[in-house]
Amino acid sequence: MDHSGLLAALIIMLFVFSVGAVPQLGGGLCAHLIQSAGFPCTEHRTKTEDGYLLGLQRVSSRSTIVRGEMGLPVLLIHGLFMAGDAWFMNSASQSLGFILADQGFDVWVGNVRGTRWSHGHVSLSVKNKEFWDWSWQELALYDLAEMIRYVNTITKEKLFVVGHSQGTIMSLAAFTKPDIVEMVKAAALLCPITYLDHITTGFVLRLVKMRVDEIILALGFHQLNFKSNIGTQIMDMMCDGHIHCDIWLSAITGKNCCFNDSRIDFYLEYEPHPSSSKNLHHLFQMIRKGSFAMYDYGMWRNLMRYSQPKPPVFDISQIPTSLSLWMGYGGNDGLADVIDVQHTLKELKSKPDLLYIEEYGHIDFLLSIKAKADVYDGMIRFFNSVQKVLTVSGMYGVCIKPLPILVLVVYKCAGLSVPSIPSIPRQRLLFKYIMFPYIL
């Protein structure tokens, strides 16, 4: 049965009545979800270039043995209407945040501006419309950039980045900027998105056709907060008697095969988090225009902001091939459609490691009860393999112009020194140019 019409009406009501203060739960994310599961966790705060105060959490292993040796830093970036709690919604054996920590990674949890685990702005109140004057463009170029810089500064290490949904939009946009990507070692992208012109969810397409995003902005609503008092009542109505929650979730994201719908009430204690109307409008622009570009203000304002009539594109072909990428996507994902993922892959110069799961939908990559075996174990192997290659390269190689292997063999067998590079031990050269290619 098609519920998209009723859903559209209810969502419009949600949008219209979603104005309100961002509710702050007592204590931080560490106290709410992470420490109670037995994981050491500390709260951090950093400020973006445009004045937003972001919350991050640092999570380490329950094992004192593993905890004694701080592992490689991993930054987790959540999706739309979510926050850092999304990585800890299931048990310690099923949630990626917990799994990475128990595997010895130094886990950092990002929370973008406006969410309940971040901390406002240095001068703006959440009641000011200026506070909500941003889209995923600012989330990529300010929030993610600052979180990467902060983790890099604290750990003195290049980091791994994991993004889901909007977190992948932010990541791929940010990685086109050399000053950001130089601090990143590798990235794993769940439900990767740069293009949205082939989404298959009839419900979202109906909202786009109705131009709900433009109506909301025209009415002067800048904040989307479904946890406002009226918003909560409407969500309760949506999930009690009229439409079962997993039905409307599937209508928005596509059919999900494997998440535990008995935990929906628990999920809704934390989700959804606030976002901005401008952010929704930017996402709908992507759907209408089939582009991966900055926010479109219209020709005249574009000329003022960008010095050109159309917004600049984020050219993902500029992402350096030195950045190792891993991507997981599903056949039932109504938002990160397979056609759009293939479009993304064609534009990248590098060839990411890929995981395709036919039965997985958009939420399964985050909340599937089988995700550890299906998704996360492979992601961790990818991170470990990247680190091993970099470690071996650092131990046995320096950046020099290679000589032909045959020449090296001749010099070695004749007992002669290798010309032009006398400071490099002969054993290291022998390993780098003769043995190392066969080990790989």
- Beta strands 159-164; 184-190: pairing state: parallel
Could you tell me which residues come within 8 angstroms of residue 302 by beta carbon, excluding any fewer than 6 positions away? 296, 308, 309, 310, 311
> Residue holding tokens 């320096």?
398
Is 333 one of the annotated active-site residues of the chain?
A: yes
φ and ψ of 85, to 5 deg: -65, -20
φ and ψ of 281, to 5 deg: -60, -40
> Residue holding tokens 């003195």?
156
Q: Which of 333, 337, 353, 374 is catalytic?
A: 333
Rg, C-alpha atoms of the chain: 24
Could you tell me which residues come within 8 angstroms of residue 335 by beta carbon, excluding any fewer than 6 positions away? 165, 191, 193, 196, 199, 201, 204, 253, 254, 362
Distance from the Cα of residue 12 to its chain's centroid:
27
In terms of Cα–Cα distance, which of 211, 231, 242 is closest to 16?
A: 231
Give, as one character, the DSSP assignment of residue 352.
-
The CA-based angle 424-428-432, given to 5 degrees, is: 115
SS3 357: strand
Residues 252, 362: Cα–Cα separation, whole Å: 9
Q: Could you tell me the two tokens for 376?
A: 């996360």
Judge whether 128 and 78 are in contact, CB under 8 Å.
no
Is 273 one of the annotated active-site residues of the chain?
A: no
Q: Could you tell me the two tokens for 224?
A: 């989307």
Q: Could you tell me the two tokens for 378?
A: 């492979």
SS3 39: coil
In terms of Cα–Cα distance, which of 120, 41, 126 is closest to 85?
A: 41
Judge whether 245 and 269 are in contact, CB under 8 Å.
no
Q: Which of 78, 164, 273, 362 is catalytic?
A: 362
Residues 76, 87: Cα–Cα separation, whole Å: 8
Q: Which of 60, 95, 135, 165 is catalytic?
A: 165
Give, as one character, the DSSP assignment of residue 362.
T
Considering Cα of 244, then 247, then 253, then 258, what sign does the dihedral take? positive
Residues recognised as catalytic: 165, 333, 362
